[in-house]
Amino acid sequence: MVLAMVVCAVTGDLLLKRGMSEAGAVQFTGSGLAHGLVTMMTSAMIWLGILFLLGFMASQMTVMSWADYSYVMPAGAFGYALQTFLAVVILHETVSAKRWIGVLLICVGVVLVGQTKPRTAEITAAGAGMARSEVEKQMEEKVTASC
By CB atoms closer than 10 A (0-12, 13-18, 19+), residue 28 is exposed
Residue 146: its pLDDT value, please? 44
Domain range for 103:
2-146
Residue 98: its pLDDT value, please? 96
Buried b (16+ CB within 10 A) or exposed e, 109-145: ebeebeeeeeeeeeeeeeeeeeeeeeeeeeeeeeeee
Split at pLDDT 50, 70, 90, the class of 90 is very high
Residue 83 has pLDDT above 70, yes or no: yes
CB 96 within 8 A of CB 128: no
Instruction: Pick 142 or 94 by higher pLDDT.
Output: 94
Residue 143: its pLDDT value, please? 45
pTM exceeding 0.75:
no
Instruction: Give the pLDDT confidence of 13-45 residue by residue, as tens digits.
Output: 999 999 998 888 888 999 889 988 998 899 999
Residue 12: its pLDDT value, please? 96
Number of domains in the chain: 1
CB 22 within 8 A of CB 43: yes
